[in-house]
Amino acid sequence: MKVMVIGGGGREHAIVKKLKENKTITELYCLPGNGGIARDAVCVPIAAVDLDGIVSFALEHRIDYAVVAPDDPLALGAVDRLEAIGVDCFGPRKNAAVIEASKVFAKDLMKRYGIPTARYETFDRMEKALAYLKTVPMPAVIKADGLALGKGVIIAKTLSEAEEAVHSMMAEKRFGRSGERIVIEEFLEGPEISVLSFTDGKTIVPMVSSMDHKRAWEGNTGPNTGGMGAVAPNPYYTPEVAKRCMEAIFLPTIRAMAQEGRSFKGCLYFGLMLTKDGPKVIEYNCRFGDPETQVVLPLLESDLFTVMRAVSEEQLAECPVRFSKASAACVILASKGYPGAYEKGFPISIPAGLDAEVFVAGAKEKDGGLVTSGGRVLGVTALGKKLSDALDRAYKAVKQIDFENAYYRRDIGALALAAKED
Ligand code: AMP
Ligand code: GLY
């Protein structure tokens, strides 16, 4: 089988490494991939959003199967285009990817089908949004409708901050067209849980739960990032919470999508908040999360490619999906300054024989070695019987890796460990 993975970050590296375990895959490509992925797959310099380029490549190389990992190509309809030329895909079609691509769609879906989420209103006129703000308690959460690299969410503590957020999205168009429509929603409180799931539109199989660390600095402070680390499983996701999520959120969501004629096939990601009234949906993603994938897939004991094909063939009910009972921790090594401005081009030294897996996100090949080329550079994942073991191993490996201007949070997993002691 000839398989291609679309995307080029740490998440895609984790997917590629797992796919490599399947011996029926004879050729494995990654478009565009990166300097680290190039050690595990053939990287081809075609951008993830270049759908024409991707389709031509698939035809030319007689690709049998494609895994479309990032949100942008999914939202643009990469799966529809590839299916039209006979390539089976892992990932939702455009009409289902809208569950992430439009927050207004997602919120309205939840309202129509009674799926628990924060109370909200949507607006396409700034005057109405500003008038509404005067009627709601602060903090309030302002979200741009469309994809905004995870940055289109502003938590406003005061009315004037909220007004400024609305203005920046709707008048100054800070997030471009993504902000033409906005959602204003109630501020929820509680621990966050990420649950990635496999679904073929009929059956849904949650993967092991995880916890992201979105803020740049220790103690969950500083600006929002793509994610500075992750741990799995998430201690707040007890069997009781899991049962409630399955009944009130997971099954109702895939049924709602099927009912709407938007059957979702692929990885559906539930961003949840465990409020005092139970779990509520903060967001849906139509894809694997990054860096959650870097802790979830290393715990998958079943063969990833077999599960992915069961999803695309709508046979997931027949396919066993097993996860290890161990814990996993991933620490992101970033370029100092990220998510703001940072320098790049520094050589990376990774010693052989590390007791951890290194997933490469922002690095490129130069003179046979790797140099930094992005904000998030590496994800270092280790497993352990207990979370504390996994964290010790991950941090030990992190300390052995070296590049100039490296920054990482030293408190990944601290909240999860504290929760376990409660
Ligand atoms: P999102 O891009 O929708 O995942 O939002 C980014 C982050 O903003 C989430 O991970 C939460 O930490 C926070 N957030 C989003 N919506 C809310 C909300 N209604 N209440 C509190 N925090 C929120
Ligand atoms: N880690 C959150 C995301 O992938 O959007």
Residue to mutate, 149, 194, 332, ligand 2, most ligand atoms under 8 Å from C-beta: 194
Are 199 and 268 in the same domain? yes
Residue where a domain terminates, one of 318, 341, 362: 318
Which range marks the domain in which residue 384 is found?
Answer: 327-421
Peptide bond preceding 206: is omega within 30 degrees of 0, i.e. cis? no
Are 199 and 308 in the same domain? yes
Are 162 and 245 in the same domain? no
Are 272 and 363 in the same domain? no
Are 312 and 332 in the same domain? no
C-alpha angle 194-398-373 in degrees, rounded to nearest 5: 80
What is the CB neighbour count within 10 angstroms for residue 278? 15
With tokens 């979830």, the residue in question is 296
Residue type, 170: M
Question: How long, in residues, is the chain?
Answer: 422
CATH of the domain at 22: 3.40.50.20
Are 337 and 298 in the same domain? no
| Ligand positioned closest to the Cα atom of 69 | 2
Ligand 1 centre and the CA of 116: distance in Å?
Answer: 15
The string of pLDDT tens digits covering residues 362-391 is 999 999 999 999 999 999 999 999 999 999
In a domain, 111, yes or no: no
Are 34 and 71 in the same domain? yes
> What pLDDT score was predicted for residue 149?
66
Are 227 and 294 in the same domain? yes
Are 375 and 335 in the same domain? yes
| Ligand positioned closest to the Cα atom of 292 | 2
Are 149 and 83 in the same domain? no
170: Cα separation from own chain's centroid: 26
Give ligand 1 pocket residues (Cβ under 6 A): 118, 141, 150, 153, 155, 185-188, 192, 214, 271, 282-283
What is the CB neighbour count within 10 angstroms for residue 53? 16
In a domain, 101, yes or no: no
- Please name the helix (run of DSSP H) or strand (run of DSSP E) that holds residue 56, with its range, or none: helix 51-60
- How far is Cα 264 from Cα 284, in angstroms, rounded to an integer? 12
Are 224 and 272 in the same domain? yes
Q: Please work out whether the CB of residue 303 comes within 6 Å of at least one atom of ligand 2.
A: no
SS3 106: helix
Residue where a domain terminates, one of 270, 291, 318: 318
Structure tokens at 91: 């990932």
Residue where a domain terminates, one of 269, 291, 318: 318
- How far is Cα 100 from Cα 71, in angstroms, rounded to an integer? 8
> What pLDDT score was predicted for residue 173?
82
- How far is Cα 17 from Cα 28, in angstroms, rounded to an integer? 10
Q: Please work out whether the CB of residue 185 comes within 6 Å of at least one atom of ligand 2.
A: no
Name which residue sits closest to atom 7 of ligand 1, judged by CA: 153
- How far is Cα 380 from Cα 390, in angstroms, rounded to an integer? 11
In a domain, 98, yes or no: no
What is the CB neighbour count within 10 angstroms for residue 163? 17
Query: 122, 183 in Cβ contact below 8 A?
Result: yes
Over the chain (422 residues), what is each successive 10-residue block's mean pLDDT? 98 98 98 98 98 98 98 97 98 98 94 97 93 95 82 89 92 79 94 98 98 95 92 98 98 98 98 97 97 98 98 98 98 96 97 96 95 98 98 98 97 94 60
In a domain, 117, yes or no: no
In a domain, 105, yes or no: no
Query: 78, 96 in Cβ contact below 8 A?
Result: no
Are 267 and 170 in the same domain? no
What is the CB neighbour count within 10 angstroms for residue 23? 9
Name which residue sits closest to atom 3 of ligand 2, judged by CA: 289
Q: Please work out whether the CB of residue 283 comes within 6 Å of at least one atom of ligand 2.
A: no
Q: Please work out whether the CB of residue 292 comes within 6 Å of at least one atom of ligand 2.
A: yes
Q: Given CA atoms 223, 14, 31, 306 in this order, what sign does their dihedral have?
A: negative
> What pLDDT score was predicted for residue 319?
98
- What Rg do the C-alpha atoms of the chain give, in angstroms? 21
Please tell me the total count of domains within the chain. 4
Name which residue sits closest to atom 6 of ligand 1, judged by CA: 153
